[in-house]
Amino acid sequence: MQMGIPHFLAIPFPVQGQVNPIMTFCQVLANRGCKVTFLRTEFSHKRVKDKQEGSQIKFVTLPDGLGPEDGRVDVMKVLYSIKSTMPSLLPKLIEDINASDDENKITCIIVTMNMGWALEVGHRLGIKGAFFFAASAASMASCYCIPRLIEDGIIDTDGHPTKKQEFQLSADLPKMNTADLPWLSLGKSFFTDQLVPELETMMKLGEWWLCNSSYDLEPGAFSISERLLPIGPLMIENESNQSSFWEEDTTCIDWLDHQTPQSVIYVSFGSLAVMDPNQFKELALGLDLINKPFLWVVRPGNDNIAYPDEFQGAKGKIVGWAPQKKVLSHPAVSCFISHCGWNSTIEGVCSGVPFLCWPFFSDQFLDKSYVCDVWKVGLGLEKDEHGLITKEEIRKKVEQLLGDENIKARSSKLKEIAISNMEEVACSSKNLEKFIKWAK
Ligand code: UDX
């Protein structure tokens, strides 16, 4: 066995938006000759266990402390249960992993947000630690700057804005509105009990804060701290999906194969956003109005929503979960109606697809600013006086977007730039090498 290769233990918080990018990251590390062990909760493991055949990554599990009857829909409940269950179990797991391969003991633990406790466990065992941030570097920067925001009177110590205003963390970063600060939608106790202590752990024990981003995509964000390191956009050719929590409906790829190039509107709001029933109806009718083929992801499990009686959907296909990266890179897709989660944003950018932005919460408003105001590769959907995005607004903006040759050209150009960031000589690739060397 080869000596001295780094051995990473990846520990993501078990939501799709964090598991997917760190899994891609782990595949990239494995492709570069590193050893990778990936910790899943037992519940997540059951959801995805069939998809690990032939993987270079070893999977291990721990219980999250909840029973099988808990659906894991309440993310805060999952978070607090994990924190009271896993820290006492992790040392033994690490001991077992190390005992099974004496020459390649774990050298570095990589966690996503909310899993900082694992770096404390690692620190006690003498193992290095790094954070992998599943959102934009700008969003990370806004969290990092919390003490400054408090000092400048922009937010109070509970994280609430003192007034509604625009501000800029640095001259190169998009303007932010205090109403859109990423933690506001997650509640006061999340800010004081979770986010602030997590950031303290990050400062103390996370030697690197890795972002699935690049200097080209977010030129202003990385000057905030030297530890903030862009290593993206992470991409793998013919990536096998080893992390999907829902069964991918691959029939949509055959369906796309039969559509005209650049004709299909892809509609997806990620893994967490829940749409209000009235808004859902309006979207359905809006898609009918556009009179173009659409592929719409409607996640199973939301019994609250119902299609309106008038909805025909004749030109569309609705699936419960799509192989999103494959869909976005399919030549039939013309645009992406997206909630602007960072993963969807990066995936859309790397596919050169223009966006219609429909942010729901947290960092998604900031991602919308990147898409619409900084990169100028999309348009925003505006709510009416009742807080509704109407069917007419959807139709109007899709038509405007598809008729805008400048946006299309910029989307193609941005795709080229983004992809070139991962070439061997590019900064993201060099950062990755630097990180791997450090972890040895
Ligand atoms: C969460 C937060 O909500 C988001 O704001 C943050 O930036 C990342 O974490 P989520 O809402 O799930 O993520 O959105 P997103 O970041 O876009 O991640 C969704 C992932 O699921 C993407 O990798 C996407 O490719 C995948 N996906 C989505 C599918 O594979 N199929 C689908 O049908 C829909």
User: Which ipTM value was assigned to this complex?
Assistant: 0.99
What does the mean pLDDT of the chain come to? Answer: 94
pLDDT at 379: 98
For the CA of 342, the closest atom of ligand 1 is 7
Higher pLDDT, 71 or 116: 116
| Average pLDDT, integer, range 198-216 | 96
| Average pLDDT, integer, range 116-123 | 98
- Cα 175 to Cα 50, 117, 168, 250, 356: the distances in Å are 44, 32, 5, 39, 20
| Average pLDDT, integer, range 296-317 | 92
The answer, yes or no, to whether residue 3 has pLDDT greater than 60, is no
For the CA of 136, the closest atom of ligand 1 is 7
For the CA of 18, the closest atom of ligand 1 is 9
List the residue whose alpha carbon is closest to atom 6 of ligand 1.
341
pLDDT at 48: 85
Whether omega before 233 lies within 30 degrees of 0, making that bond cis, reads yes
Q: Render pLDDT for 128-138 as a digit per residue (tens, 0 to 9).
A: 999 999 999 99
Helix, strand, or coil (residue 379): strand
Q: Render pLDDT for 233-283 as a digit per residue (tens, 0 to 9).
A: 998 877 777 789 999 999 999 999 999 999 999 999 999 999 999 999 999
pLDDT at 157: 94
The answer, yes or no, to whether residue 394 has pLDDT greater than 80, is yes
Ligand 1 pocket test, pick from 343, 346, 353, 361 with the greatest ligand atom count within 8 Å of Cβ, gives: 343
- pTM of the complete model: 0.96
Q: Render pLDDT for 46-93 as a digit per residue (tens, 0 to 9).
A: 888 556 666 889 999 999 999 988 888 889 999 999 999 999 999 999
pLDDT at 242: 74
**Structure tokens of 207?**
């030697």
Lowest-confidence range among 128-132, 190-194, 236-240, 410-414? 236-240
Q: Render pLDDT for 308-339 as a digit per residue (tens, 0 to 9).
A: 999 999 999 999 999 999 999 999 999 999 99
Ligand 1 pocket test, pick from 324, 325, 357 with the greatest ligand atom count within 8 Å of Cβ, gives: 324
C-alpha 157 to ligand 1 mean position (Å): 30
User: Nearest CA to 195 among 167, 161, 222, 159?
Assistant: 159
User: What is the number of alpha carbons within 13 Å of residue 49 lying toward its C-beta?
Assistant: 9
C-alpha 123 to ligand 1 mean position (Å): 31
User: Nearest CA to 155 among 114, 194, 196?
Assistant: 196
* Residue 72 φ/ψ, nearest 5 degrees: 65, 25
| Average pLDDT, integer, range 111-126 | 97
Q: 143, 195 in Cβ contact below 8 A?
A: yes
**Structure tokens of 62?**
């721990």
Confidence of residue 175 (pLDDT cuts 50, 70, 90): confident
Which amino acids bring their CB within 6 angstroms of ligand 1? 16-18, 20, 134-135, 244, 268, 270-273, 297, 321-322, 324-325, 341-344, 347, 362-364
